[in-house]
Each structure stands twice: as C-alpha cells, then as structure tokens.
C-alpha cells in the first residue's frame, strides 16, 4: 500500500482549460475533467459508489444498472461510477492462489474503511452510495433505488467546481503526478470540506459469480470502474475550511504515485471528489483518464 503524504494547497488564479482526453473503446471514464466551467452556474455532478464483489451473485445486475445510468444521455455526463470491491468473502481471492480461479484481490484500504462505517456486519451486497446523501432515510441503498436517487440530484447547483489542472504519467517509471483545482461557486456557510482522489482501473477481465447466468460462474467477466487505491487517504485532507469567498480557487498538489505494473495503464483514471467533513455528503466529483 502506498504511503499517504499531506496535500499541499497553493492559492491560484482561475485558469480556463479546454479540450479533453479521448479514451479508446470499449471502456473508459465519461467525465474527462479537462477544465472548469464558469464559476457561476456550476452544475453538481454525482458520484455513485457501487459496493460489490466478484463472488457476489447479484452484483452483475447492479453493475448493469450503473452502466444503464451512464449510457443515459440525460444522466451520463454528470455521473461518475466507482466500484468498491469489499469484504474478504466477496472480494478476496479464493485459495489456492495461482490456479486461475478467483485469483484477483480487489480489496482496498478505502473500501474496508467505508464498509466498516456504512455496511453493518452480515449485510449483503450489492449496495451503493449516491453522493453519500440519504435517500428515503437511508445512506446505503439497494441497487433498485439508485436510479431514483441519482435522478433526485440531477441538475442541482454546485457549491464548487473541481478539475484536474495537471495529470501526467512517466511511461518509464510509472510515476503519476497530478494537481487538482477547486473553485468556490457558492457560499460555503462555514462548512469544512475534504478532498479524496481515487485511482480506478477499468475493464479488468476475471471471474465473477452471477445468479442470472448459466453457468453461474463467469471466467471472463469484464469488471468496470474498479477502485485500486487512492492518492490521498480514505478520508482525504481539508481543501476548503468554509471561509473561502465565492470565486476563490485553490490548487492541490498530490504526492507522486507509482503505478502497479500489473495494472493496464491505458485503462487507468483518477476520480477526485470533495465532500462535507461533517455529513460525508459528496458535493462535487470529476474523473480523468491517465495519459
């Protein structure tokens, strides 16, 4: 596990960026994070965190629901999906390791941390968080509630905008360097906010249990949006204290990160999000492919 180091905040002027990354088919992130919208009228994007596992028999159905939401032209541009494979049973490898049968270990430090807080022992999967905002009184949602919870939050104004001002990968060393900018769009009313940055790999082929398939174990299932690690920590670092005026922009310099050589570099991207420290609610999110 990579050691986490404190983020460094630098005051910065608002800089406008244009253009976006093109990700080769068939898979890749939809929100490219290439630059900011104007500070006024920023639209809030939505983070769907899919708590899943390769031995969860109903999780492929949940993944399909998430993909359908992404494919909806009214939803997809404002939706970021991350799959957190959690618990030893659902996400850990099946011994003996190396026989090619459920060898992947998709567990992460962040996934375990969030599971300990939001998923009571003995809870089944799949479950999901939609901007970590309660829907019908529940924070952790069944897959059949994701559509309604996402639609409830569509088109809302955002407190801040968020984008990657730098994202580079050294092809020789595998070191990723990144900077994130946060621009205040609305009065923060004294609320502290933290920044977390996920490292996600898409299109991982491996075993998956599926109650709706025959046979029920699929050896070449394509796992989408898999959380691999984070460039911060599970809970991140303070990026906004709540006193910043509208129009203020801060730059976060992330610590250099060395990629695991077993991961496919063409299918890697970063997901950055800012959340309210007191409520955990995600206020803005963006994703960008690692070049």
Tokens representing 144 are: 């059949």
* Three-state SS at 110: helix
Contact 244, 279 (CB under 8 A): no
How far are the Cα atoms of 48, 61, 89 from residue 103, in angstroms, in the given order? Answer: 26, 22, 13
pTM: 0.88
Of 107, 114, 74, 123, residue with least CA distance to 282: 114
With a CB cutoff of 8 Å and minimum separation 6, the contacts of 89 are: 53, 55
User: Could you name the CATH architecture of 8-17+44-289?
Assistant: Sandwich (2.60)
Q: How many other CB atoms sit within 10 Å of the CB of residue 85?
A: 26
**Average pLDDT by stretches of 10, the chain with 291 residues:** 42 32 36 51 93 98 98 97 97 94 96 95 93 96 98 95 97 97 96 98 98 97 98 97 96 97 96 98 98 95
């Amino acid at each position: 596990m990579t050691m986490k180091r404190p983020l460094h905040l630098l005051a910065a002027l608002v800089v406008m960026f244009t253009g976006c990354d093109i990700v080769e088919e068939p898979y890749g992130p939809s929100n490219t994070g290439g630059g900011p919208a104007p500070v006024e009228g920023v639209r809030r994007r939505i983070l769907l965190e899919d708590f899943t596992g390769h031995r969860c028999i109903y999780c492929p159905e949940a993944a399909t629901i998430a993909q359908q939401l992404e494919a909806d032209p009214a939803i997809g541009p404002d939706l970021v999906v991350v799959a957190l494979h959690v618990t030893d049973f659902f996400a850990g490898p099946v011994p003996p390791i190396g026989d090619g049968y459920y060898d992947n270990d998709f567990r992460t430090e962040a996934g375990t941390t969030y599971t300990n807080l939001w998923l009571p022992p003995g809870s089944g999967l799949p479950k999901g968080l939609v901007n970590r905002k309660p829907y019908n009184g529940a924070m952790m949602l069944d897959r059949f509630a994701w559509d309604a919870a996402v639609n409830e939050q569509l088109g809302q104004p955002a407190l801040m905008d968020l984008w990657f001002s730098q994202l580079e990968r050294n092809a020789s060393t595998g070191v990723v360097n990144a900077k994130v900018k946060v621009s205040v769009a609305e009065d923060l009313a004294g609320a502290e906010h933290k920044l977390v940055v996920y490292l996600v790999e898409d299109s991982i082929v491996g075993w998956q249990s599926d109650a709706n398939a025959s046979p029920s174990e699929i050896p070449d299932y394509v796992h989408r949006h898999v959380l691999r690690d984070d460039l911060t920590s599970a809970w991140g670092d303070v990026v906004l204290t709540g006193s910043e005026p509208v129009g203020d922009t801060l730059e976060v310099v992330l610590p250099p990160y060395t990629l695991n050589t077993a991961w496919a570099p063409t299918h890697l991207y970063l997901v950055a999000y800012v959340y309210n420290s007191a409520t955990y609610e995600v206020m803005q999110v963006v994703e960008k492919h690692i070049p």
